[in-house]
């Protein structure tokens, strides 16, 4: 439920401090007071929540009150990880709507933005560091508890939970993006903008370069959740993304002018790192464990000269758990991207019978494998229109697009393989689309950097015999018996009961019922009455008797 303007200190929306308090009150926050080393222990500790067999519904946010670094160095700022999207539940709390309303909420926000409100004397500028305060070991960026995300591979601590704000020098419209920032010096950041993903900040950089100017940037770390949720999403060029954040929050986001540029930053930000991006020189940056699940090797990237660091009193540093998925990074993208794709296909393209879009998350990073879930008996043309549409909406998403029916759980790999094994014919149900961008991931060594898309229709094309498991009522009764016997707790895996796939008759239902009633000898009498001399072994009864029509359907007399 959205809060009113009188809530959250009159802002009308939660900032990070409000959000942390809500999570803690709901038992969704681990507060760690024990000294934790940010360079060796912190991210591996949080990582176990995603690689240790813990269900998503049981994941929580972390806040570390006693952060230390190499050599036992102590930091006076707490560090929060997983507070934005360790799970869909945490994301929905930050968004202020239930999980099942997130898609519609995003759609409304994109269509009905609420423009920001500029204020003076903002909390984000309660403490200011400039000039000589930014130079020297232990000062500037070096004074902040920025963790190593992938110890053993990363070359530096990285800012990951960023909302990087740049301004189009021609239109004056701001863009917000989540870009990684390596701590290179107390007053210098290494910045990675993905050129092939056409990120807004990169387009702005080219315009400043053509004007012979450095590009102003504000790297916001720790901000109202609504702003953080907008940052990693692709929103139509020319949109005021702070306005979209306002619509998500249900109130105008308060902003203030940065101290060393005209950029407007969230007034309640925890930290704002102001700087200028060099438009002439590049320098080596990385290696760094990227959200596509591989180490991004060292390459030349952008240089940010820090001009100021401003912060709140009692500020909290934030970081995102990313790299191999599932991760906070994949959750924060997935919960918005799935409804976006569904809306595009169902409402934009008018595809009939599409029930859901599911982006495979573990290890594949939601972009590579996309499932389209259809109702039964949808026209083949609709299924193929949807698969073509899903493969073309975003150049980074949809290397494999697979259509399945509602009885297939896309998050159950065995169920997906089952559909591929029995419901698709590779010679008829597979198409390959060439000349695709490689998307977000390691560079391809073959194919001149191009990739391709594979479309697979793994939906039912005709009626099939039932799934060979006991019917639902028998499995449910057996589960109750299992529990009465005190056997180990069950975690049902879909499918866990048998059901008809269309090729089944009332006669066979009666026979099955008689068997469960102990009357199977009656079925034996029936089969004796249907003996024949003119049939070969394995001949279907439907081919030789008038009791059955085609495909197992009883004949109508």
Cα distance between residue 532 and residue 242, in whole Å = 78
In this predicted structure, what is the pLDDT of residue 556? 37
Cα distance between residue 353 and residue 76, in whole Å = 55
In this predicted structure, what is the pLDDT of residue 388? 95
Q: Are 42 and 279 in contact (CB under 8 A)?
A: no
In this predicted structure, what is the pLDDT of residue 6? 46
In Å, how far are 56, 63, 107, 233, 354 from 390, measured between CA atoms?
Answer: 26, 38, 18, 17, 12
pLDDT digits (tens, 9 = 90+) for 275-309: 999 999 999 998 988 878 788 889 999 999 999 99
Cα distance between residue 322 and residue 320, in whole Å = 6
In this predicted structure, what is the pLDDT of residue 450? 78
In this predicted structure, what is the pLDDT of residue 103? 86
Ordered mean pLDDT values, 10 residues apiece, the chain (557 residues): 58 94 96 94 92 90 94 93 93 92 89 93 96 93 94 93 94 91 95 73 91 96 94 79 93 96 96 97 91 86 96 95 84 86 92 94 88 94 95 87 95 93 95 80 67 93 90 94 93 89 92 94 93 90 68 39
Architecture of domain 349-457: 3-Layer(aba) Sandwich (3.40)
- Find the DSSP H helices in 430-555: 472-484, 506-516, 520-529
In this predicted structure, what is the pLDDT of residue 318? 95
Residue found by looking up tokens 């990693």 in the block: 232
Q: Which helix (H) or strand (E) holds 437?
A: strand 430-437
What lies within 8 Å, CB to CB, of 252 at 6+ separation is 12, 114, 115, 116, 117, 246
In this predicted structure, what is the pLDDT of residue 331? 84
Instruction: Point out which residues pair with 30 in neighbouring strands.
Output: 62
In Å, how far are 19, 117, 251 from 4, measured between CA atoms?
Answer: 15, 16, 8
In this predicted structure, what is the pLDDT of residue 553? 41
Architecture of domain 8-319: Roll (2.30)
Same fold, 8-319 and 349-457: no
What is the residue-wise DSSP string for 36-94? EETTTTHHHHHHHHHHSS--GGG--EEEESSEE-GGG-B-SS-EEESTTTSSHHHHHHH
Q: Are 250 and 97 in contact (CB under 8 A)?
A: no
- In the chain, domain spans: 8-319, 349-457, 505-552
pTM across the whole model: 0.84
- Where does residue 523 rank: exposed (0-12), middle (13-18), buried (19+ CB within 10 A)? middle
């Amino acid at each position: 439920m959205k809060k009113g303007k009188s809530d959250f200190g009159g802002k009308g929306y939660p900032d990070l401090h409000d959000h942390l308090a809500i999570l803690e009150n709901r038992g969704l926050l681990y507060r760690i007071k024990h000294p934790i080393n940010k360079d060796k222990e912190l991210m591996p500790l949080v990582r176990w929540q995603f690689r240790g067999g813990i269900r998503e519904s049981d994941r929580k946010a972390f806040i570390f009150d006693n952060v230390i670094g190499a050599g036992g160095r102590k930091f006076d700022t707490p560090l929060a990880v997983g507070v934005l999207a360790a799970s869909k539940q945490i994301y929905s709390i930050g968004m202020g709507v239930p999980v099942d309303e997130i898609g519609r909420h995003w759609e409304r926000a994109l269509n009905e933005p609420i423009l920001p409100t500029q204020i003076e004397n903002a909390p984000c500028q309660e403490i200011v560091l400039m000039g000589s305060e930014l130079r020297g070991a232990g000062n500037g960026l070096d004074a902040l508890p920025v963790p190593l995300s992938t110890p053993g591979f990363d070359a530096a601590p990285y800012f990951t939970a960023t909302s990087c704000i740049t301004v189009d020098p021609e239109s004056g419209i701001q863009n917000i993006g989540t870009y990684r920032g390596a701590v290179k010096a107390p007053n210098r950041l290494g910045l990675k903008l993905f050129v092939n993903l056409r990120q807004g900040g990169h387009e702005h950089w080219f315009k400043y370069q053509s004007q012979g100017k450095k590009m102003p940037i504000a790297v916001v770390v720790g901000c109202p959740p609504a702003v953080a949720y907008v940052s990693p999403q692709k929103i139509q060029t020319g949109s005021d993304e702070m306005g979209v954040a306002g619509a998500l929050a249900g109130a105008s986001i308060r902003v203030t002018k940065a101290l060393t540029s005209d950029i407007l930053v969230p007034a309640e930000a925890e930290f704002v790192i102001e700087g200028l991006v060099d438009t002439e020189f590049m320098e080596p940056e990385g290696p760094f464990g990227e959200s596509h699940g591989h180490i991004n090797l060292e390459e030349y990237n952008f240089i940010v000269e820090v001009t100021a660091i401003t912060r709140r009193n009692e500020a909290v540093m934030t970081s995102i758990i990313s790299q191999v998925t599932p991760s906070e990074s994949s959750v924060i993208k997935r919960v918005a991207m799935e409804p976006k794709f569904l809306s595009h296909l169902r409402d934009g393209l008018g595809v009939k019978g599409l029930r859901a879009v599911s982006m495979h998350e573990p290890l594949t990073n939601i972009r590579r494998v996309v499932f389209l879930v259809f109702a039964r008996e949808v026209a083949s043309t609709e299924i193929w229109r949807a698969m073509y549409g899903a493969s073309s909406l975003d150049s980074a998403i949809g290397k494999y697009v697979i259509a399945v029916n509602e009885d297939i759980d896309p998050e159950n790999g065995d169920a997906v393989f089952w559909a591929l094994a029995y419901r698709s014919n590779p010679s008829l149900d597979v198409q390959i689309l060439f000349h695709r961008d490689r998307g977000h991931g390691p560079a391809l060594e073959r194919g001149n950097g191009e990739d391709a898309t594979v479309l697979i229709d793994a939906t039912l094309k005709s009626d099939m015999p039932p799934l060979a498991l006991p019917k639902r009522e028998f499995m449910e009764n057996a589960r109750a018996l299992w529990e009465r016997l005190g056997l180990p707790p069950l975690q049902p895996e879909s499918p866990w009961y048998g059901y008809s796939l269309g090729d089944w008759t009332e006669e066979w239902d009666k026979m099955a019922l008689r068997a469960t009633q102990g009357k199977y000898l009656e079925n034996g009498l029936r089969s004796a009455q249907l003996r024949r001399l003119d049939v070969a072994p394995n001949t279907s009864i439907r081919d030789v008797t008038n009791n059955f029509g085609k495909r197992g359907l009883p004949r109508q007399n």
